[in-house]
Amino acid sequence: MTTTPFDSWTDKYDRWFTTPTGLLVKKYETELLLELLSPGSNEKIVDVGCGTGIFTRDILALGAAVIGLDLSWPMLEQAVILRQTGNFSAILGDMTRLPFDDSSFDKAVSMTAIEFTDNAHQAISELSRVTRRGGRIVVTTLNSLSPWAQKRRQKAREGHPLFTNIHFRSPGRAAHARPGKRHNQDGRSLSAGRPGCTHSRNRGKRNEKHPDDRSLFSGPMDQPLTGTTDSHRKTQWI
């Protein structure tokens, strides 16, 4: 089984969200996530890079059926506690090779996970592929323009295991990771063409309300990508 830097950080990860800063970030990000994802009762949603399920639980609370995917087995072992509160399944897998058929989900979400992969375009293409036409995708990534980014870069230089191989992306760079062509109308909404999510939204005018530590984009599916991988034969459900 592949090990990840997150394997030994399960408890520390959860504890951070109980700190004053963590509570504030969780409150605002959950608020924005639920606004953009708008999960409905009985919808099938995939949470890619779900970790311990910090944000998954809020989606489950609204009645959706959620499959959580992560590379870290210890993180998933913590997440399975969510089975007690809703329709939740967990699977070990790679976000660049999602183990699901085309158009398997009504919606997809990935909270601060694509920065840990070398190929963000492939990861987002996979999210697009497994989301049905008319569905919705919400993705956040650590914002390279945030004041916090400098602190994380310093931690990376010091050899911090979580940040050594991280990819910080500005809102513009994150938008370019999406499949399809881009049209920038107002600095906040970005349209992609046929494949994948069709709107990208950054904090923009929301900065007075929401922390600027994340770049975020979301949007309805125009037409899903196709081309299911064979990686489902190599995954492990938990």
DSSP assignment letter at 204: G
Determine the average pLDDT of the residues in 198-204: 31
pLDDT digits (tens, 9 = 90+) for 6-24: 676 778 888 888 999 889 9
- CATH architecture of the domain 5-222 equals 3-Layer(aba) Sandwich (3.40)
Sequential DSSP letters for 76-142: HHHHGGGGGTSSEEEEE--TTS-SS-TT-EEEEEEES-GGGSS-HHHHHHHHHHHEEEEEEEEEEEE
State the pLDDT at residue 151.
Answer: 73
For the chain, the domains span 5-222
pTM, rounded to two decimals: 0.73
